[in-house]
Structure 1
Amino acid sequence: MGSEIQVVEQSFVAPSTPTPRNGLWVSSLDLAKARGGHTPLVYFFRRSNDDDDFLDLSRLKESMAKALVAFYPLAGRAGVDGDGRIQIDCNSEGALFVVARSKLSIDDLMPFPELRGSMMFVPRVEPSSVLLAVQVTFMKCGGVALGTAFHHLAVDASGDFHFMQTWSAFSRDGDGAAVELPCHDRTLLRARSPPIVHPDALSVLYSPEMIKNTSEPSGGAAAIAASIFVISNDQLASLKRVCGGASTFRALSALVWQCACAAWRLPPDAEARISFSVNARRRGSMIPVRYMGNGALMVYATGVARDIASGALEHVASRIRTTINRVDDELVRSAIDYHHELLESGFQPKRAFMGDAEMRVVSWLGMPMYDADFGWGKPMRVSRAGSVHRGYMHLVRDGPDADSAIRVMACLEAAHMKEFERLISAKLEGGLYHAKL
């Protein structure tokens, strides 16, 4: 982990009361996302007072044990059933809990911890079958970095933040915490028999087949540059007006797609593509809001490069809106059936590297990522950790307040980043504060 971090304790936290012990069947959407492994996040908390009990590790473990009763699959392990199909073994072996100390202060990492080694605050997950791991790192300044790693087989972002809300509520309020129970019935997303893929579904459904022939740039990590832009509320309001009153997600996605297409200098008639997730919990009626599992579909929009790079932003945003509006129960069913057929055929998806005319937007806007108040107050910053990949854009709130600015983390080839930065700044009329990797 490096000289800045010293691990002082490692243990497993099991549910505080007996939970179901069984093999939990997982859907084709879970299996499609499982190759992504663990999602690394870090919550940064400043010391809220001068008391020695600012953070009581015993209380933190006890509250996690209580939360794992409702979220018992997270205390299990990735396994296989009798037919060799991946499942979750609900065996209550527990979540990994790591305690560490750091020579760094929180201010050493700010304002952009994504670019300054935040992965050191996320636990190394061993064995890899562990579905949830956390690391509490005591910082030199007295603050705390809480790193989490949720396996994508078990949850998507919605389930991740639901668990964090529940765990922190037990820590803050004890047994009086209000708990919204998760739904564990993944058969709600079982494929139909026989599977049926609507003919129009593939025009918006991002398939693993789309990435099977793509590869990482020959320059590897050295060919990639990362830059973080902080967009103020005033800039965002102006951008949304230019986009015809589009939502925050559509406006920001249209902006980065257009600027990236222009920076790439694609042939005018080339097809440009943008992909992103749409939460099926809020589009249709197949699964409840508190469904625990992967309930988001990866979809995409396309356009001719000249239209995306130089057309009106309102029209670019409307292409994204059209794709989002097509996500309904039938499209979700077709997606499940399509992934089921791929897996049955023996298709093995490869790691997703974006092509030369493609970007992916990962948005946690609207997610309750700052609701993790363990009794010390809300985190001052929640940061994605880990490596960056070409063509990815991450959208997150810059702080716990509803009117906080928005951080956009852009990852492009280094040769294109300077022009991308210039175009972004020009679109937002300058004054944009950003940092580079």
Structure 2
Amino acid sequence: MNSGDFPVTIKRREVVAAALPVQDHWLPMSNLDLLLPPLHFGIFFCYKNVERGSPENMAAVLKKSLAQALVYFSPLAGEIVANGQGEPEILCNNRGVDFTCACAGVELRDIDLYRPDLSVHGKLVPVLVHGLLSVQVTDLKCGGVFIGCTFDHRAADAHSANMFLTAWADIARSNPIKLLPSFRRSLFNPRRPPQPHASLDKLYAPLLQPPSDDGPDRLTSRIYYIRSDEIERLQSQSSRNGTRKSKLESFTAFLWQTLASAADRSKTVKLGVVVDGRARLSNDETTSLESYFGNVLSVPYVEASAGELQSTLLNVVADMVSACIASASSAEHFLALIDWVEVRRPKAAVVKVYCKEERDEAAVVVSSGQRFPVQMLDFGWGGPDFGSYHFPWGGETGYVMPMPAPHGNGDWIVYMHLKERHLNLVEARAPHVFKPLSPHYLKF
């Protein structure tokens, strides 16, 4: 029986600092970092039937390699402190990373990964209390291991976290790091004079107060899997006139339309899509941003009435999604966004789709996790049998992230953080697409 009701015993709490001395220094946030409010996101991965040494030896390997990885990723061993203008900056003081060793009286197959808020959050994925990163390693009754990490989003996006985790695993196996991180904030200096676009006023807004998720209709998390043939079917239905939509565009259009399917036709459904600017800003004349550690994101959004989405063909809805993504897919968009932040500093701002309005039936942000390197997270005892992001980010705007399934067969794992009635809606309207994650599917 899947459960979130199981005991977790803390064996010890430690702080892991970089293995080599790091001279204290300040690392400013880039203008793109400053668009992130204080949000934390989790990543977890689990291994069943680990047969390499005792739990104590495994923890020792993870701690030693973490300390070595922090030499290269030293900001993650620091903390965020407000500067004289009240803006956050990273103090690289090597305070270290909170590292917890625990054991759980449950087998991997009995952890309810379908409902991670109950089974994972705060139990197997730690709550970040101090610093920029927290790690928990939990031994399971079956001999498996569960590793949970929580990052401060103001310092790292998913691309950066993936870079760090891959480097950590490489070091644990005594392999060279594939990609050394760059912290060159000068890559995101504003233009002189700044040239912001007025259109960005429609995408971003002043952050008046941190969003709250304490309302009666608060969001909750569930994890699904989608079979590859269903993804391809959605892609086929979303494409027309010889133009093939991407799988992410097709899935996003279907989700947007499904959320509107049972709503009052006059209500609005907002859809935001996370766009990574690294490829857009990189060119032959500048350093590639593939190794840049920090946030290089924009979140354009589009809105439509529920009635419009209900009466529109999926391929037309997919065109709307494509146009939304295209609006933020140029270097000029990101340069203008950097400038837009610059002329408003030190006033904080946030993506406007995060500010849900009364007339909204729903607002949701979709972010691609297709580059999640789950099979590369081998610390010396093989790759994970499962891994996922966990991002219960607060507020009233939903968050959805599709990732590759661990089987490598083209299936997707989809983390969804929505209102319960909307989760129930997508399950009822599209049970052939959204299938609750189960031990049977994961072969636990």
- Fold match, TM over 0.5? yes
In structure 1, the residue matched to 2:68 is 66
How far, CA to CA, are the matches of 2:293 and 2:168 in structure 1?
15
How far, CA to CA, are the matches of 2:336 and 2:274 in structure 1?
16
In structure 2, the residue matched to 1:290 is 291
In structure 2, the residue matched to 1:434 is 436
- Asked if 2 retains the 8 angstrom alpha-carbon contact of 1:255 and 1:424, the reply is no
Of the candidates 360, 364, 373, which is equivalent to residue 359 of structure 1? 364
Residue type of the alignment partner of 2:167: T
In structure 2, the residue matched to 1:194 is 193
Residue 153 of structure 2 corresponds to residue 148 of structure 1: no
CA-based RMSD of the aligned residues comes to 3.1
Q: 1:77 to 1:412 in 2, by over 3 A?
A: closer
In structure 2, the residue matched to 1:325 is 326
In structure 2, the residue matched to 1:17 is 20
Please say which of residues 310-319 and 279-288 is displaced more in the overlay. 279-288
Q: List alignment gaps of at least 5 residues for structure 1.
A: none
Tell me how far 1:117 sits from its aligned partner. 1.8
How far, CA to CA, are the matches of 2:58 and 2:67 in structure 1?
14
Residue 427 of structure 2 corresponds to residue 421 of structure 1: yes
How far, CA to CA, are the matches of 1:282 and 1:18 in structure 2?
34
- 1:250-399 counterparts in 2 under 5 A? 250-267=249-266, 271-285=268-282, 288-326=289-327, 327-345=329-347, 352=354, 354-355=356-357, 356-357=360-361, 358-385=363-390, 387=392, 390-397=396-403, 399=405
- Asked if 2 retains the 8 angstrom alpha-carbon contact of 1:211 and 1:350, the reply is no
Please say which of residues 415-424 and 324-333 is displaced more in the overlay. 415-424
- 1:91-130 counterparts in 2 under 5 A? 91-112=93-114, 114-119=116-121, 120-127=123-130, 130=131
Q: 1:354 to 1:411 in 2, by over 3 A?
A: farther
Secondary structure of 1:43 counterpart: strand
Tell me how far 1:332 sits from its aligned partner. 0.4
Residue type of the alignment partner of 2:204: S
- Asked if 2 retains the 8 angstrom alpha-carbon contact of 1:393 and 1:411, the reply is yes
Residue type of the alignment partner of 1:301: V
Equivalent residues, number: 421
- Asked if 2 retains the 8 angstrom alpha-carbon contact of 1:397 and 1:404, the reply is no
Residue type of the alignment partner of 1:77: E
Tell me how far 1:74 sits from its aligned partner. 0.7
Q: 1:414 to 1:118 in 2, by over 3 A?
A: closer
Residue 411 of structure 2 corresponds to residue 405 of structure 1: yes
How far, CA to CA, are the matches of 1:350 and 1:238 in structure 2?
32
- Asked if 1 retains the 8 angstrom alpha-carbon contact of 2:112 and 2:119, the reply is no
Q: List alignment gaps of at least 5 residues for structure 2.
A: 439-444
Q: Percent of pairs identical after alignment?
A: 25
Q: 1:167 to 1:394 in 2, by over 3 A?
A: same
In structure 1, the residue matched to 2:178 is 179
